[in-house]
Amino acid sequence: MYHVCMTITDPVQTDHEARFDALIDGGHKIEPRDWMPEAYRKTMIRQIAQHAHSEVIGQQPEGNWITRAPTLQRKAILIAKVQDEAGHGLYLYSAAETLGVSRDEMNDLLHRGVQKYSSIFNYPTLSWADMGAIGWLVDGAAITNQVMLTRTSYGPYARAMIRICKEESFHQRQGYEIMLELANGTEEQRDMAQDALDRFWWPSLAMFGPPDADSTHTEQSMAWGIKLETNDELRQKFVDMTVPQARYLGLSVPDPDLVWNDERGHFDFGDIDWDEFWRVVRGDGPCNRERVAHKRKAWDDGAWVREAAAAHAAKRTSDLAGKGTST
C-alpha cells in the first residue's frame, strides 16, 4: 500500500503571507488592520512593551534627584524631562495596544517579572553628576537605537518613535550640558563628572543588548524590518559618536583598550562584562528589586485614581446617551 504525501496549504493563509512579505520587502509599514504572522505580533508586543516599561521605570533613577537639583532651573528642567519619559511610556503602551494586548496585561506582566525593562535602570544614581551622565549617555544610547526605530516596519511604533526621538535629543543635550558645566567647574565637580562617567559607561554600552552572535532575536527581527541595524553596529556607532564628546569634556573613558582603528575607521573598545549584564537582566542588579517594588506600590496606590477616572468616564457616557435619547 502506498501513502501519498502532500502538503496541504491554506490558500487564504498563503495570500496573507504573500501580502505581508510584499509589504516588508517593499519597505512599507505593517498597520494594525493588516494580517501579520503570530510570531511577528508577539515580537512586536515583547519589544514595544519592554520599551514602554523602560520609559516608565526609567523615571525612578532621575526622579530620585528632583528634590535635590542644585538650582530652581535645573529642578524645572529635570521635572520636565521625567514627565517626558512618562509620556513616552504612554505613546508606547498605546502602540502595543494596537496589537491586541491591554495596558493592564502589560503592567501585570512587568510586575510579575515576565516582561523586562532596560538593564540600565537597575543602576543607582549616586550624585547630581549622574543626571548629566544619564542624559548624555543613556539618552544618547537610546537615541542611537531609536533613530533606527523611526524606520521600523510596524507603523504605530515607527510613528511614536519620531516624536520620542525629538524629545530624547533635547534630553541628551541637557545631560551633556550638565557634564560640561561640571567638567569646567571646581576640582570636586570635575571628579563627580568623571565618577559618573566611570559608572555609567559600561552599562550604557550594554544597553544595546548582547553581542550579535548571542542575540536571540536579531536575525528574525532584521528579516522582518523590525531592526535595521544590529546590536553591535549600533553599539559601535554610539562609541564613535561619544568618545570625541568625552574628550571635549576633558574626561577619560574608563577603557584602557579604547583606541582609534584607522583601518576600520572606528574605535576599538574593550570587552563588556556580559556576565554582569545577564545578572542584571535576570533580576540581580543593584536596584532591580527596589525598582519593581516601587513600580508595584505606585500601581497599587493609584488604584483609586483609575477607579475614579473610569467612574467619571462611565457617568459622562451615560449622561451623553441620556441627552441623545431625550432630543
Contacting residues toward ligand BYC, per CB under 6 A:
46-47, 50-51, 54-55, 58, 85, 116, 118-119, 134, 138-139, 142, 145, 207-210, 215-218, 221, 231, 281
Dihedral sign of CA atoms 308, 59, 143, 118 in order: negative
Q: DSSP letter for 120, please.
A: G
**Burial class, 262, CB count within 10 angstroms (exposed 0-12 / middle 13-18 / buried 19+):** exposed
Choose between 210 and 270: whose C-beta lies nearer to ligand BYC: 210
Return the C-alpha cell found at 222: 532584521
Contacts of 177 (CB under 8 A, 6+ apart): 132
Choose between 191 and 228: whose C-beta lies nearer to ligand BYC: 228
**Smallest separation (angstroms) from ligand BYC to the CB of 141:** 8
**Smallest separation (angstroms) from ligand BYC to the CB of 293:** 18
Choose between 85 and 130: whose C-beta lies nearer to ligand BYC: 85
**Smallest separation (angstroms) from ligand BYC to the CB of 138:** 5
Choose between 190 and 211: whose C-beta lies nearer to ligand BYC: 211
**Smallest separation (angstroms) from ligand BYC to the CB of 209:** 3
Three-state DSSP class for 259?
strand
- One-letter-per-residue 3-state SS of 136-188: HHHHHHHHHHHHHHCCCCEHHHHHHHHHHHHHHHHHHHHHHHHHHHHHCCCHH
**Smallest separation (angstroms) from ligand BYC to the CB of 210:** 5
- Give the C-alpha separation, 327 to 312, whole Å: 23
**Smallest separation (angstroms) from ligand BYC to the CB of 217:** 3
DSSP bridge partners of 72: none
Choose between 119 and 194: whose C-beta lies nearer to ligand BYC: 119
**Smallest separation (angstroms) from ligand BYC to the CB of 208:** 6
- Give the C-alpha separation, 98 to 116, whole Å: 20
Choose between 252 and 278: whose C-beta lies nearer to ligand BYC: 278
Q: Comparing C-alpha atoms, which of 121, 115, 66, 112 is closest to residue 296?
A: 112
Count CB atoms within 10 A of the CB of residue 164.
23
Q: Are the C-beta atoms of residues 201 and 253 closer than 8 Å to each other?
A: yes
Choose between 15 and 214: whose C-beta lies nearer to ligand BYC: 214
What distances in angstroms separate CA 174 from CA 148, 193, 238, 251, 261, one per listed residue? 22, 14, 18, 18, 30
Residue nearest to ligand BYC (CB): 58
**Smallest separation (angstroms) from ligand BYC to the CB of 300:** 22
Choose between 208 and 269: whose C-beta lies nearer to ligand BYC: 208
